[in-house]
Amino acid sequence: MCGIVAYIGHRQAYPILIKGLKRLEYRGYDSAGVALLHNGLNIYKCKGKVADLENNAKGKDVAGSLGMGHTRWATHGEPNDINSHPHLSESGEIAIIHNGIIENYATLKEELSKRGHHFISDTDTEVLVHLIEDIKENAHVSLEEAVRLALHEVIGAYAIVIISKNDPTKLIGARKGSPLVVGIGEGEFFMASDATPIIEYTRNVTYLKDGEIAFIKDGKLSIKTTENVEQIPYIQTLEMNLEAIEKGGYTHFMLKEIHEQPRSIYDSLRGRFDPITGMFAMRSLKEYEGKIKNLKRIVIVGCGTSWHAGLVGEYLFEDIARIPVEVEYASEFRYRNPVIGPDDLVIAISQSGETADTLAAIQLAKEKGATILGLCNVVGSSIPRASDAGAYTHAGPEIGVASTKAFTAQVAVLTLWAFGFAEIRGTATKQDLRDAFAELESIPAKVERTLLCEDQVIEIAKVFKDVTNALYLGRGYGFPVALEGALKLKEISYIHAEGYPAAEMKHGPIALIDEEMPVVVIATKSSIYEKVISNIQEVKARKGTIIAIVTEGDNKVRNMADYVIEIPETKEYLEPLIATIPLQLLSYHIAVMRGCNVDQPRNLAKSVTVE
């Protein structure tokens, strides 16, 4: 969380920083700030969004071709003007922006205070910049060396950028645990948390690895490790296009991303199977065939929506490949001494590829000898690099904080993997694969058709926009869908919503049901359709209001439910790809009607790089 962007070159830095910060705002939006070098160090920062920062800086000196900007998701210290980044060293010479957490900041702060340092903010970041200056002054070393030495004393995660009032030719960045990418243009350089602020100017980038420091000095880039070992930058050319990170005529990124799903699912499947021959073609898994064949267990780790995709994965792998699966919250897995070893395969799912808990879970599983498959959306991010193998979901940049198209893309790839594993283990025949792949091919068109329910969903949203609670029920493949539907509603509309296995309702949530409580039920024609119908009856008997997601042509549920939304028929294991769509739309429209900021819901951030 927190977005950082910096520029050094021949252009004016301010417009680049502001534009970049707006693209990074999904990472946090508690406060924003910039530092620009022009007749000294000019710092403007305030609580609120980047637009507030622009107002704050209006009419002030924003010139300078060296600068850096920050958008914050608060960890240490409440979101206010003072705690906003950039932060300054004791003398005011060095400025820093930071994404991450310095865990030992309290000890460092105490020591520095004893040595006469005064701190203005409550942040851990300010401590780091004071430490850098302290080392520079007392050890009589260059700024570069002081940064390197200071990082040795720091425990925690960081991506930082540093500039000095006394040196307009220098920009320093470093990373450990939080992402930092360096853009290399013609006589100009960029640094940012992801590539979106950079691609407008250059496609040549290098992603810093953990423990690396990038120094830009006199128009040259050099990279060293914190152990002082020179590195040769691996420069790659990005393929991302600008259009993908713009709203493209939609009111919100979230709505655009919901509507992009026919395409993002198609792109995530494209070239990975052949429905005619039944061939599964994900080369990255080829070298693990032996392992897959003899696998005793799969453990899936993830957070938030990615964890929900993992739950769908559990049903898929157990159903199709007959492998026992456990799905774990990465944050729990990492701290509970899990029983895991070389016979296990861990699948780590993450849109951003940067979620700190998921990354730590991978590291733990690796130490215990497990093989790691990463399933991520952001190319070049940390999780794919920490994994042994894996695949990208080709969903394109997801900017809305609430995940939508990344979820369906993850489920699409997990479905392919389940069939790929099934083939290797002999639990699916070539004909099974041909049938499955043929149906998979039809999913983008079915999602397109499902999106046509939007007008109907808007009418339902009008009825329920003022409720305070909602219950989402599903069974089998419908259960993770219910969880995801409830999460979407609470994230963006702030209505309390719970997802439950439909049959579990009678062990608690049923007590909540009355005329005021909408109950959304996934009631498609699955193998447990009749059982779900019984659960609907139980709700109706308590005067609950039912909004049912049903298969096209269904009449049985229609006669019981208060509202029905039809979705095209598909194989049961593919239903999450379709049934999720109306729930995403319902949350979106309810949130818009309640006047919520759907793309940037309060207190949330898209990329959670702190634990």
Task: Show which residues are catalytic.
Answer: 2, 606
CA distances 144 to 136, 138, 155, Å, are 9, 14, 19
Residue selected from 86, 304, 390, 499 as contacting ligand G6P according to rule CB under 6 A:
304
Closest to 503 in 3D by CA, of 546, 474, 523: 474
- State the number of CA atoms in the 13 A half-sphere of 420 facing the CB: 25
The pair of structure tokens assigned to 570 is 């598909």
Taking contact as CB under 6 A, which single stretch among the options 128-136, 169-177, 300-308, 425-433 is the one that binds ligand G6P? 300-308
CB of residue 561 vs ligand G6P: minimum separation in angstroms? Answer: 29
Residues 158-177: x/- map of binding to ligand G6P (CB under 6 A)?
--------------------
Which residues pair with residue 192 across a beta bridge?
5, 181
H-run or E-run covering 162: strand 156-164
When asked if residue 305 is in the footprint of ligand G6P (CB under 6 A), the reply is yes
Q: Which of 65, 123, 125, 306 binds ligand G6P (CB under 6 A)?
A: 306
Query: Are 370 and 337 spatial neighbours (Cβ–Cβ below 8 Å)?
Result: no
Q: Tally Cβ neighbours within 10 Å of residue 229.
A: 10
Give the closest residue to 583 by CA, choosing from 263, 264, 305.
305
d(CA 424, CA 545) in angstroms, rounded, equals 46
Piece in contact with ligand G6P (CB under 6 A), picked from 2-10, 70-78, 275-283, 401-409:
401-409
Cβ 472 to ligand G6P, closest distance in Å? Answer: 17
- Distances from the Cα of 546 to the Cα of 288, 521, 531, 540, angstroms: 46, 7, 16, 8
Q: What is the dihedral of CA 140, 143, 146, 148, to 10 degrees?
A: -150
Give the residue, chosen from 71, 355, 387, 393, that forms a contact with ligand G6P under the rule CB under 6 A.
355
Residue 291's identity, in one-letter code, is K
The interface region with ligand G6P, picked from 108-116, 268-276, 346-354, 541-549 by CB under 6 A, is 346-354
Stretch that binds ligand G6P, among 113-121, 160-168, 432-440, 603-611 (CB under 6 A): 603-611
Closer residue to ligand G6P (CB): 305 or 545 = 305
Nearer to ligand G6P, 304 or 478 (CB): 304
Tell me if 371 contacts ligand G6P by CB under 6 A.
no
Q: Is there binding between residue 24 and ligand G6P (CB under 6 A)?
A: no
User: 351 vs 387, which CB is nearer to ligand G6P?
Assistant: 351
Question: Could you say which of 147, 402, 413, 447 contacts ligand G6P (CB under 6 A)?
Answer: 402
Out of 75, 99, 196, 351, name the contact with ligand G6P by CB under 6 A.
351
Give the shortest CB-584-to-ligand G6P separation in angstroms: 12
Query: For residues 75 and 306, which CB has a smaller minimum distance to ligand G6P in the complex?
Result: 306
Give the C-alpha distances (Å, rounded to integers) separating 291 from 288, 313, 346, 361, 584. Answer: 5, 19, 12, 20, 37
Measured distance CA(38)–CA(364) in Å, rounded: 46
As measured in angstroms, the least distance from the Cβ of 392 to ligand G6P is 13
Nearer to ligand G6P, 398 or 423 (CB): 398
Look at the block and give the residue holding tokens 């290399």.
Answer: 184
Decide if residue 268 touches ligand G6P (CB under 6 A): no
Instruction: Tell me: does residue 84 bind ligand G6P (CB under 6 A).
Output: no
Beta carbons of 175 and 224 less than 8 angstroms apart = no
Decide whether 8 or 303 has the Cβ nearer to ligand G6P: 303
For residues 75 and 358, which CB has a smaller minimum distance to ligand G6P in the complex?
358
What CA–CA distance (Å, rounded) separates 230 from 97? 24
Nearest CA to 480 out of 322, 349, 344 is that of 349
SS3 140: coil
CA atoms of 567 and 585, how far apart (whole Å): 13
Q: How far is C-alpha 178 from the chain's CA centre?
A: 13
Shortest Å, Cβ 354 to ligand G6P: 7
Stretch that binds ligand G6P, among 88-96, 314-322, 397-405, 545-553 (CB under 6 A): 397-405
**What per-residue string of b and e applies to 402-438 under the rule 16 or more CB within 10 Å gives b?**
bbbbbbbbbbbbbbbbbbbbbbbbebbeeeebbebbe
User: Quick check: 580 binds ligand G6P (CB under 6 A)?
Assistant: no
Q: Distances from the Cα of 136 to the Cαs of 35, 147, 149, 243, in angstroms?
A: 21, 8, 9, 44
| Of the residues 205, 365, 395, 401, which one makes contact with ligand G6P according to CB under 6 A | 401
In the numeric block, which tokens belong to residue 408?
A: 């369906």
User: What are the structure tokens assigned to 216, written together?
Assistant: 């830009």
CB of 76 to ligand G6P, least distance (A): 19
Closest contact distance (angstroms) between CB of 338 and ligand G6P is 19
Contact segment (CB under 6 A) with ligand G6P among 139-147, 335-343, 349-357, 425-433 equals 349-357
Q: If binding is defined by CB under 6 A, does position 350 make contact with ligand G6P?
A: yes
Which part of the chain contacts ligand G6P (CB under 6 A), choosing from 45-53, 232-240, 297-305, 562-570?
Answer: 297-305
By CB under 6 A, residue 405 contacts ligand G6P? no
Could you list the residues that contact ligand G6P (CB under 6 A)? 303-306, 350-352, 355, 358, 401-403, 604, 606, 608
